[in-house]
Amino acid sequence: MRRIMASAVMLFAISSTAVWAGQNVVVKHGKGASTGMITGVVLGPDDKPAPHAAISYQSSSGSMPHAVHADAHGRFTILKLQTDNYDVRASANGIFSEWEKNLPVQNGHTSELTLRLIYAREMPKSKSTKKN
């Protein structure tokens, strides 16, 4: 009986998963929840999990900025999000990911996200003129 139930749950999870805009985001549908959530992993430039990375998020309108931290395996969960679009970014050791913009969160859904930390391009040094 447990195998049948586990198979049914797995089949439901597979059949109710949608990819968002071809990005690193998967939305899973649930029932009865009044809020949504974002879960995911932060990977370093070497594609290995980035432990204890900081994840910043806010509504796409720029309001309600917050932050959470990843665990020792780079995994994070942002709970109790109201239906809205969110912008999400990670950082660790001075390295940042790009912003994942307009990530949709809906009641009863879980959006899964992979954030990859990338090195910024070296900024050109400003030219200064000396005054004598």
**What tens digit of pLDDT does each residue of 107-121 get?**
999 999 999 999 987
The candidate with the shortest Cα–Cα distance to 39, out of 81, 98, 83, is 81
How many Å separate Cα 114 from the centre of its chain? 6
What pTM value is reported for the model?
A: 0.68
- Kindly state whether residue 66 falls inside one of the protein's structural domains: yes
pLDDT in tens, 39-87: 999 999 999 999 999 999 999 998 889 999 999 999 999 999 999 999 9
pLDDT at 38 over 80: yes
Q: Could you give the number of structural domains in the chain? A: 1
- Kindly state whether residue 3 falls inside one of the protein's structural domains: no
**Mean of the per-residue pLDDT values of the chain:** 78
The candidate with the shortest Cα–Cα distance to 33, out of 104, 78, 82, 84, is 82
- Kindly state whether residue 101 falls inside one of the protein's structural domains: yes
Residue-range definition of the domain harbouring residue 25: 16-118
- Kindly state whether residue 54 falls inside one of the protein's structural domains: yes
- Kindly state whether residue 51 falls inside one of the protein's structural domains: yes
Quick one: residue 58, left, alpha or beta (phi over 0 = left, psi -120 to 50 = alpha)?
beta
Q: What is the CATH number of the domain that holds 40?
A: 2.60.40.1120
- Kindly state whether residue 59 falls inside one of the protein's structural domains: yes
d(CA 66, CA 86) in angstroms, rounded, equals 11
- Kindly state whether residue 32 falls inside one of the protein's structural domains: yes
% of the chain exceeding 90 in pLDDT: 61
